[in-house]
Chain A
Amino acid sequence: MSPRSLAAASGQRVPRQVIVLVLLAVVAAAGCGLMLGGLTPWAVYAPRPDTVAHPASLPPVPTLAPGQHAPEALRRSAPTVVDIAAIGVHADVVPVGLHRDGTIAVPSLRRPELAGWFRSGPSPGESGVAALVGHVDSRASGAAVFYELGALAPGAAIEVSRADGSRARFLVDLVESYPKRRFPYGAVFGDTGYAALRLITCGGSFDAGHRSYRDNIVVYATMDYSTR
């Protein structure tokens, strides 16, 4: 029903001028709305810790507390599933290597629900530093497997199921965010002498030009329990 016929139905003749002005006002109002929407930061960001601008090369966690003994390390066995109850993660794990550009590869953006195990290093539960990587987001899914990683707090439990049927539980020590260009390999992958785990995803501000985030969020965790 057009405004004209509405007016006709009510028995009054609406001046054409009024109709034109009303239409123009509607267009102008819609334009204002779009502009406001565009100017307001309405995007929802994944939780992220503050960036450590100048990361040190030594592990930032005091490894094991005095008197605390790490449980005996497990033999090498590929991880199959990672569970992090605190942030609702239950994900299958696939092995990954190095990307052509020298970064640690991540499962395809078409499978943003998968986590990747960096197979060049130890397996979770083995002595040394094992790494699991996962996307923070993807165009296909919005939030991805490690979207909430930055919200993890010390003490949270990470459980890894392994191909040999054993399970290893790790407790979060620390969550840090580093610029990728100064990624502190020494701190993240420095030898521990016991079973440790690092979870890595993207964080920090988004570089639209390179279509990637500027930071990596790293979760440091230590194995405290395992079943064989």
Chain B
Amino acid sequence: MRIARFFAGSALVGGALILAAPGMALADETKISVTPTTVAAGNSITFKGNCAGETSEAQFWYVLKGSDRKRGNAEGDKKSGNWQATIAIPDSTEAGTYVASIKCGAEPAVTASFTVTKDEPSPSPSADTTVTVSPTTVNPGGTITVSGTCDKGADNASIWYGNADGSGQPYAQKDGLSADSSGKISGSLAITPETPTGSYVAVLRCDKSVENPPTASFTVSTGGTTAGDGGSLGGNGTILVLVGGGMLAAASLGGAIYMQRHGFGVAA
């Protein structure tokens, strides 16, 4: 028992030392890390450093194109040597690789690199962006609502529906639709009663110049679903009534004939 306690105690002390170690000891050499290592201009980046020697201050900066430096206020703890700074990457920063530095007191600077990307202005918005259809399954004679967004606005948009493979003429079409101020557009189409059941696409074309307008598929169906054959309903009652009635009638008739021949007396 004593030996076991000794081991347990040693393990506890050892564990405590291991847990405490990173917080207490200074790093062997100065380190710097940046998060994220790739950042879009206009965001900020966090520098984290660990100074090897006990210093009263640390400096963070990164070098802009040319020789300009952009500095950050380092906050940290001189005993642990852990320092940190958050530095904004201005919108005007050009895309490329930059060098981040930390300088602990009078020690030489230590560096790490990071990448700045530039958000490309989104490609010129297409005249059509999205289209949805509701309901997604509809009966012949029913109505679908075709909705979508025209980023550039629209005052002569068209909606129609046609075969899923794009063949043939539209079954129904509406032209001259206008988008609201936010570019939203919506219209309804009647599904002609002659439309065969099957798969179709609804189309929104914001402008006549659009060659491949977006589509949303839907199904034309009728009659819901046929999901049961009455197999749980038990037998047919009519047959039982007929058979039973026949047996009753035959017995009555037989009894009547027999008694007429042999009399009603029990003694033979």
Interface centre among B139, B226, B243, B266 (most CB of A within 10 A): B226
- Minimum C-beta distance from B111 to chain A (A): 40
A-side interface mostly: mixed
Answer whether residue B95 sits at the interface, using C-beta atoms and an 8 A cutoff: no
Which of B61-69, B82-90, B252-260 lies at the interface with chain A? B252-260
- Against A, the Cβ 8 Å flags (1 = close, 0 = not) of B238-259 are 1111111111111110110010
B-side interface mostly: mixed
Which chain B residues border A79 with CB–CB below 8 Å?
none
Interface size class of A (residues with CB under 8 A): 35 or more
Which chain B residues border A185 with CB–CB below 8 Å?
135, 137-139, 142, 221
Which residue of chain B lies nearest to A180 when distances are taken between CB atoms in the complex? B224
Interface positions of A from 139 to 196, Cβ below 8 Å from B:
139-144, 146-147, 178, 180-181, 183, 185-186, 188-191
Known: A38-B240, A38-B241. A25 touches B224 (CB 8 A): no
The complex places the Cα of A159 from the Cα of B64 at a distance, in Å, of 55
Which of A4-12, A42-50, A62-70, A85-93 lies at the interface with chain B? A42-50
Interface centre among B134, B224, B243, B255 (most CB of A within 10 A): B224
Evaluate contact between A213 and B228: CB separation under 8 angstroms. Answer: yes
Which residue of chain B lies nearest to A186 when distances are taken between CB atoms in the complex? B135
Interface positions of B from 214 to 232, Cβ below 8 Å from A:
217, 219-232
Query: Would you list the 8 A-B pairs with minimal beta carbon distance, nearest first?
Result: A34-B244, A38-B240, A31-B247, A191-B134, A102-B197, A31-B248, A137-B232, A35-B244
Beyond A28-B248, A136-B227, A213-B228, 19 additional contacts (C-beta under 8 Å) are A17-B262, A24-B252, A24-B255, A30-B247, A33-B244, A38-B244, A101-B197, A102-B197, A104-B225, A106-B227, A133-B225, A136-B232, A137-B231, A178-B224, A180-B224, A185-B138, A191-B136, A201-B227, A208-B230
